[in-house]
Structure 1
């Protein structure tokens, strides 16, 4: 069993990444720009995340879920996708991501697409 690791899509609010890692420094939260994928297409980001064991966190509600569902339909593994609307309160999203990290394992998110916040 392994802990959830997060990968921030290029459009994710930086305050979310900073807030999560300040709350718990043990949480691994990489940014696509840190791994030189900032110009990558959605399917490339999902492929990288799947190979490296990251759950993707994104604001891109228009195209990222469709790319994720295409992967699943093709039988390609996906480590998970967490969608966040731009208008959602940052503090609530930080709390949700901390809870996910604290209460679940990476394998529980395989092929899952979830819109935060958890209600």
Structure 2
């Protein structure tokens, strides 16, 4: 199964457009879009959403998300991957990194895995 992505709300929607230019069949949603959590959704609810929808979360939220992720795991829940975006990453580099994740890995390989991109 291919990785499906959710971009956290504070990331630019331009990232999604850039990823889809690389491959239009990539399943990528942004918080605030139809079928995704609405803007303002709290971190624990985002984590529950990506667990239930089997989506890898792409975020730059390094302040509150780590603590919520630890609680999520402590409750016996899982995630389908989370990648932290490094500060000052260019749009093109980020889109390419997401594309390479999609091209290289199966979704199951990212269960409960956390990493940095690029």
* Residue matched to 1:80: 81
Ranges of 4+ aligned residues in structure 1 off by more than 2 Å? none
Is 1:65–1:113's contact at 8 Å kept on the other side of the alignment?
no
Work out the number of aligned pairs and report it.
116
Aligned-partner Cα distance in 1 for 2:87–2:12? 8
- Secondary structure of 2:57's counterpart equals strand
Aligned-partner Cα distance in 2 for 1:98–1:31? 16
Structure 1: runs of 5+ lacking an equivalent:
none
Question: TM-score when scaled to structure 1?
Answer: 0.89
- 1:49-80 deviations in whole A, cap 9, x for unaligned? 11011001112121123222321233211111
Residue 37, structure 1, aligned to residue 38, structure 2: yes
Aligned-partner Cα distance in 1 for 2:71–2:81? 13
Structure 2: runs of 5+ lacking an equivalent:
none
Indicate the RMSD between aligned Cα atoms, in angstroms.
1.3
Question: TM-score when scaled to structure 2?
Answer: 0.90
* Residue matched to 1:6: 5
